[in-house]
Amino acid sequence: MRYNFPYARPGQVIGLLGGSFDPAHAGHVHITREALKRFGLDQIWWLVTPGNPLKEHGPAPLDQRLAHARDVMQHPRVEVTQIEAHTGTRYTAETLEALISLYPGVHFVWLMGADNLAGFHRWERWDWIMENVPVGVLARPGDRGQARMSKAARRYRAAQIKGRDAERLRIAQAPAWCLVNMPMLDISSSEIRERGDW
């Protein structure tokens, strides 16, 4: 099973950015590059999901999304993967459990947008994620308030690392999370689909 998985050695810090990437676009590339810098990550793996349990309608075929994502995201420290298709996991917590088991000694950091943090308490076993994997949150200027007032942010307020100390996330033990402000590109996958560009 492991031959389909990216390589990481013990001691490395790997950021995980999950999503349907339907389609991947310059905004995903931008936050990936920013996360590499801000959190001092060794690599980032895009986890292109077979399907999103929180979305009613399924995405475009996985092979199509993977091929497009690999065209869009070209960086020597970023891997576009279909890990969830290989592990057979459907929820983030299950995927993280599988990765922690498959990569002993590797330090994983879960990456998400501030909009996801606002609704994070609706994710399956969201509190397990917070308790087991440090979380890096990337915020547009307008998304900060809602994220900071979210159930997850309030419950884990004592575990927050200040944005100016974002690189500490790479060595932090969970629970630990950090919200960093960054300029965002004003583009979304849904807008691209609505325009018929995908």
Judge whether 128 and 95 are in contact, CB under 8 Å.
no
Termini Cα distance of the chain? 32
- Judged against a pLDDT cut of 90, whether residue 175 lies above it is answered with yes
For residue 45, the cross-strand partners are: 16, 79
- Judged against a pLDDT cut of 60, whether residue 192 lies above it is answered with no
Of 141, 189, 194, the closest CA to residue 163 belongs to: 141
Q: What is the pLDDT of residue 198?
A: 40
Q: Which range has the top average pLDDT, 25-29, 61-65, 106-110, 181-185?
A: 106-110
- Judged against a pLDDT cut of 80, whether residue 55 lies above it is answered with no
Determine the average pLDDT of the residues in 92-120.
96
Number of neighbouring beta carbons within 10 Å of residue 49:
25
Q: 185 by DSSP, 3-state: which?
A: coil
* Residue 114 burial by Cβ neighbours in a 10 Å radius (0-12, 13-18, 19+): buried
Give residue 79's identity as a one-letter amino acid code. Answer: E
Determine the average pLDDT of the residues in 176-188.
77
Give me 127's structure tokens.
């509190």
Record: fold of 2-195: Rossmann fold (3.40.50)
Judge whether 48 and 82 are in contact, CB under 8 Å.
yes
Residue 193 — pLDDT band, cuts 50, 70, 90? very low
H-helix or E-strand spanning residue 86 = helix 83-87
Q: What is the pLDDT of residue 191?
A: 57
CA pair distance 169, 89, nearest whole angstrom = 26
Low-confidence winner among 6-10, 19-23, 143-147 (lowest mean pLDDT) = 143-147
Q: What is the pLDDT of residue 3?
A: 61
How distant is the alpha carbon of residue 139 from its chain centre?
Answer: 13
Give me 194's structure tokens.
């609505």
